[in-house]
Amino acid sequence: MKKIIFIFSMLFFVAQLLLAAQTERLLNAGGRCLDVLGPELYHQGGQVHSWDCNDAANQQWYFDDKSRLVSQAGRCLDVPGGQLKNNGAPLQIWDCNDAPNQQWQFDTQERLVNGGGKCLDIAGADLLKTGGRVQIWDCNNAPNQRWWFLGKKPDTTTSSHKPAPNTRATPSDTSPTAPETTTAADKADAYQEAPAPFKGVVAAHNQWRAEVGLSGLNWSDDIAAHAKEWAQVLESEAGTQTFCNMRHRDQNRRYGENLAGGYRLSPQVVVDMWASEKKDYDITTNRCAAGKVCGHYTQIVWKNSKQLGCATAQCGNGSQVWICNYNPPGNYVGQTPY
C-alpha cells in the first residue's frame, strides 16, 4: 500500500511540474501543429508528425532552460541516435537528456535549428497534409521550415525578425477560354506599386517575371476592389472558424486568381510561396512535375497578364486568406505562360 501511495505521489509531483510550465501548440506554415501520434505520447520513442491543431495534450510543448522542446508528457523532442546530421531523419520523443539530439533554438527566420545545425522540417508536399512527416533537413527558406508557438503575437517593432508564413495555397484556377492580345504600351518597364498594406506585392511579382524576361505588372484599384468583394464573402462564410474556406470564385469570373491562407503573411512571403512552384514547372513540356502544383507560378509569369489587385479575408484566431486577381487572366489550357 505504501508503494502505491509513493508512486501516486511521484506521478502527482511530475504532473505539478508539467502544469507549472506554460505549454503551447507549435504551429507550422501549413496551418498544422507538431503532434505526438495518438497513444504514443507516454511512450519512449513516440512518433512525431503534423496534425490538425487541437487542444489535446499531444500538441502541448514548451522550452525548458536547457533549450529542449518538452512535451506535456515530460519527454523531449529528439533526433534518433546517430542521425543528428542526417537529412530526412525522423523525430521522436525520448527521455530528456543533455545530448545535442535534443537541443533546439529558433533562428531569426523562425526556423527551429537542432544541435547538429539541421532544421525541423515537414517533408515536401506533406506541409498541407494531416499526418505530415516531420524530419530534419538542411536549413532553407521554404515554408516547410517555418514554426511558431500558436498565440504568439506578431512583432510590432522594427527588427531583423521576419514574419512567419502559414502557406496553405490552393491551386490557381486554370480554365479561361481565350487569350488576350499584347500592345506596345504593355511592354513598358515602369509599374505602379500597391498601397499599404499590400505595398511590395507588385515588386515581388515583377522580380519573378523579370527572371524570364517579362515586363512588370501594375497595381489596379478596381481589381483590388473586386478581390475585396470575394474576401468579404469568405469572411462571412467563415464566421468564427479558425480558417476561412479557401475557395475560388466560380469558373465564369473575368480575372485570374491565386489564393494563400495562414497567419502573419506579408506580400513578399505570399508571392515567394506561390513562385516556389517554379522548380516543379517545365516550360519545354508545359507540364508540372508529377504530384506537384504549378498554377500559382504560371499565373505570376503569364505574359499577357498586365494588372493585379489583392485583398485579404480576416478570419478567426488571426488567420487570413490572401486573394490576388490578374487581368487579363492566365493559365489558358494548352498554352505556355510565355
| Per-residue pLDDT tens over the stretch 98-125 | 999 999 998 877 789 999 999 999 998 8
Q: What percentage of the chain has pLDDT greater than the value 90?
A: 50
- 230 φ, ψ to 5°? -70, -35
Q: What is the mean pLDDT of residues 195-224?
A: 96
**Greater pLDDT, 251 or 69:** 69
Q: Would the pLDDT of 8 be above 60?
A: no
Average pLDDT of the chain is: 81
Q: Does domain 201-327 correspond to CATH entry 2.40.30.10? A: no
Burial class of residue 242 (count of CB atoms within 10 Å of its CB; 0-12, 13-18, 19+)? middle
Q: What would the pLDDT profile of 247-272 be if each residue is shown by its tens digit? A: 888 766 789 999 987 777 889 989 99
Can you tell me the mean pLDDT for 190-217?
94
Contact call for residues 200 and 271 (beta carbons, < 8 A): no
Q: What is the mean pLDDT of residues 188-194?
A: 72
Give the pLDDT confidence of 25-52 residue by residue, as tens digits.
898 888 789 999 988 999 999 999 999 8
Rounded distance between C-alpha atoms, residue 54 and residue 227, angstroms: 31
Q: Which residue has the cell 506585392?
A: 201
pTM of this structure: 0.52
Q: What angle do CA 14, 20, 25 make, to 5 degrees?
A: 100
Q: Mean pLDDT throughout 196-203?
A: 94
Peptide bond just before 329 cis, omega within 30 deg? no
Query: What pLDDT is attached to residue 29?
Result: 80
Tell me the C-alpha distance between 227 and 7, whole Å: 61
Q: How confident is the model at residue 176 (pLDDT cuts 50, 70, 90)?
A: very low
The single residue listed with the C-alpha cell 501511495 is: 5
Beta-strand ranges (E) seen in 58-158 are 61-63, 69-71, 76-78, 92-94, 104-106, 112-114, 119-122, 132-137, 147-149
* Residue 53 confidence (pLDDT) above 90: no
Please give the CATH architecture assigned to the domain spanning 24-150.
Trefoil (2.80)
Q: Residue ranges per domain, the chain?
A: 24-150, 201-327
**Cβ-Cβ contacts under 8 Å for 83 (sequence gap 6 or more):** 89, 136
Mean pLDDT of 288-316: 92
Tens digit of pLDDT for each residue in 217-252?
Answer: 999 999 999 999 999 999 888 776 556 777 888 766
Quote the CA–CA distance of 261 and 29 in Å, as a whole number.
10
Please report the pLDDT score of residue 79 as a whole number: 97
The pLDDT tens digits for 87-96 are 999 999 999 9
